Amino acid sequence: MEAMHANLAGKSNSGHAAWTILYVAVRHGAPIVLSVLLWWILWVGHTPSVATTDEAMKHVSWIGVIALLYVAWQARAILEQPRGGVVHALVEILVSVLPLFVVGYAVVDWARGVNQLSVFQVIVMTEAVLATLIDVVIFTWFSLRLNRLTMTHSAGGN
């Protein structure tokens, strides 16, 4: 009987760990997903082969859609974050700069002549940097401002 309870407790703990990982992935996953996509495009060398300008524009527009989805995912995460805690805001900032590090490393590799970048890859990097800067600058400011208002309000001040 004790073995059965221990087995159920182990399953419960592993289930809790899985939900925790899923929760963190949903809350902080956008920068990680964007970083993996950037890595794949910049180092695996995904460059679409296109024959016409229309096909090229279609590929570039998809990169814009991905950048907008990233910004929307991050906006949702900021609005749902717990208020009054500085730790969550700091974790969000640190995770949010991850795509900038990937792009920065790609630029260093390009400058050293290690990784030759196509025009498509440069466009991808530019759109990723713009989306990430919106996240880091505007959403971080918004998040810190909401935290400050929450702390001021909960302390009884204005």
Prediction pTM value = 0.71
Give dist(CA 47, CA 45) in Å, integer. 6
Local confidence pLDDT in tens for the 158 residues of the chain: 444 444 545 555 677 777 766 666 666 688 888 899 999 988 887 777 878 888 888 888 888 999 999 888 888 877 776 665 666 667 778 888 999 999 999 999 999 998 888 888 899 999 999 999 988 888 777 777 776 766 666 665 55
Give dist(CA 114, CA 95) in Å, integer. 26
